[in-house]
Structure 1
Amino acid sequence: MPTTTVAAVAAPFGRDLGEVFARIEQLVAEARSRGVQLLVLPEATLGGYLADLGEHGVAQVLPQHALPPALDVDGPEVAWLARIAGDMVVTAGFCEADGGTRYNTAVAVTGDGVLGVHRKVHQPLGEGNSYTAGNGFRAFDSPVGRIGMMICYDKAFPEAARTLAMDGAEIVACMSAWPGSRTAAATDLAEDRWTRRFDLFDQARALENQIVWVSANQAGSFGGLRFVCSAKVVGPGGDVLATTGVAPGMAVATVDVRATLDGARRSMGHLRDRRPDAYGALVGA
């Protein structure tokens, strides 16, 4: 059976698009040298994340200069990303402009163009002051199989990953700008409670849906945020196949996706054994 090599990146990305694309070219070159077929870059790769989310839970409306550049899915920046990707599938986050509306968006590309687009649905803290929320989760076909995408806080909601799995996603690419805690913060990010949450969500979403989970994150600091890194690949049993830990880097794993999913689902199939008739209270709640 054919195998697929996937990779998740923990790296810093800021406002300077020249620096951003130079880093992407380096990462894609490294990934290609390691046989990677799917490379997942973080949320807000093209232009960086928000400079601030508000202090102590108080949301702020950010001035224009504090926002990332708003880019068009059909614009030159996404086309540049596609050219760099070539025969590889690359996913990355950016601030999308749709007329006068901004979305926190992820895109999947190859050298042939755009394969899929996801607009972040769940917005934490003050993010809703800067972005309009997306309204759904859809999987799509790619050269490495059927993929779903989500962004950061989306993964805190089991329904999001389950929707993608039920739509046939074998691999989910989750792109984040996930920071450490800003209250009672640990000096060592490995001991930080928000790092622990990030890791728990990754493993739980992979296990409960029995899918391959590829989780990228920003690294370093941006504005008042210190990112936890922790890029990883998780197998359908919830086992971490590769991780960067709390340092920048690239987590790479080679998986026979179909055989691994079939094996995980053979005796205890979480999707097969669902009882939708017992979950009615969730519908529309």
Structure 2
Amino acid sequence: MSRPLRIAAAAAHFGRDLDRGLEKALGIVAAARRSGIDLLVLPHGTLGGYLSDLEDPRSDEVPPALPADAPQIAAVAAAAGPVTVCLGYTEVDVLHGYPCYFSAAVCLTGDGVLGRHRKVHQPAGEAKVFSAGDGFTAFDTPVGRLGMLIDYDKTFPEAGRSLALAGTRTIACLSAWPASVTDRASRLLADRQSRLFDLYDSARAAENQVVWVSSNQTGIQGNLRFLGQAKVVGPGATCWRGPGPRAAWRRCCST
């Protein structure tokens, strides 16, 4: 692509209602197309939401799970057209005769699926209901070589590094990252998880010399209050984002 890329990261709430989440996602994708966005990164749980509790989640509280070829994913691809879109969802797959659930992300355009990722690194509570992925994969897209991570993956330097070594120039990190559940602050921006969320974004962009596109959920799901704080971070740790945790989804960066 000869002209500068236009990149957008979304800070938005997506709950358990699949139909409502799909409608909202399609609206954001349509707005991105009208705005000339090349890469749009939606939060984890765009389709079906996220867990309600991370300390002791129940197996019957797993968000609505979709197979890899779900019609909802095909609908987003059809709407995307030339826009490269990354979104997260709970994926169900049958392994050894039993259903397994994964925190998953998919990258697509109107031409179909370009790449997939299953979350590798899990906080303790999440591991009670989700299976872990087994690696990090870079893939080619209309906006260049891309890799994806899902929230907690970014706390481990080797995740981003493995993608950078595979030739990735842009890393999309899709999150459903909440405020601290053990030491709640009166304001989201004062929360320790808020500081860590921003720290990881800047550090991973700088250490790997990549463009880092960080999306996140907002609002409340059960016991979890999500931070927002979507942003695009350049290789020099320059950050583009709106003010406050509910930053506007449209943030553009040239690379």
Distance in 2, Cα, partners of 1:80 & 1:216: 21
Within the alignment, does 1:90 sit opposite 2:110 as a pair? Answer: no
SS in 2 for 1:245: coil
Which residue in 1 is equivalent to 2:120? 121
Identity percentage of aligned residues: 50
Comparing 127-136 with 176-185, which one deviates more in the overlay? 176-185
Normalising by the residue count of structure 1, what TM-score does the alignment of the two structures yield? Answer: 0.85
Q: Deviations over 1:193-241 (max 9, x none)?
A: 1100000000000000110000000000001000010000000001102
Q: Deviations over 1:91-126 (max 9, x none)?
A: 011111111111110000111110000000000131
Q: Deviations over 1:240-260 (max 9, x none)?
A: 0234531152141131x3xxx
SS in 1 for 2:252: strand
Q: Deviations over 1:124-147 (max 9, x none)?
A: 131011111001011100000000
Within the alignment, does 1:144 sit opposite 2:143 as a pair? Answer: yes
Which residue in 1 is equivalent to 2:45? 44
Change in 2 beyond 3 A, CA 1:61/1:199: closer
Which residue in 2 is equivalent to 1:23? 24
C-alpha deviation, 1:61, in angstroms:
4.9
C-alpha deviation, 1:24, in angstroms:
0.8
SS in 1 for 2:113: strand
Change in 2 beyond 3 A, CA 1:114/1:214: same
Structure 1 segment 1-285 matched on structure 2, within 5 A: 1-54=2-55, 60-64=56-60, 66-99=61-94, 100-243=99-242, 245-255=244-254, 257=255
Q: Which amino acid aligns with 2:43?
A: P
Distance in 1, Cα, partners of 2:235 & 2:244: 20
Q: Does the 8 Å contact 2:91/2:101 carry over to 1?
A: yes
- Which segments of structure 1 move beyond 2 Å, counting only runs of 4 or more? 241-245
SS in 2 for 1:208: helix
Normalising by the residue count of structure 2, what TM-score does the alignment of the two structures yield? Answer: 0.95
SS in 2 for 1:26: helix
- Highest CA radius of gyration, 1 or 2? 1
Cα RMSD, aligned residues only: 1.2
Which residue in 2 is equivalent to 1:271? none
Distance in 2, Cα, partners of 1:15 & 1:249: 22
Q: Does the 8 Å contact 2:232/2:253 carry over to 1?
A: no
How many equivalent pairs are there? 250
Q: Deviations over 1:31-69 (max 9, x none)?
A: 222211110001111100012112xxxxx35142x2111
Unaligned stretches of 5+ in structure 2? none
Distance in 1, Cα, partners of 2:19 & 2:168: 33
Q: Does the 8 Å contact 2:10/2:249 carry over to 1?
A: yes
Q: Which amino acid aligns with 1:92?
A: L
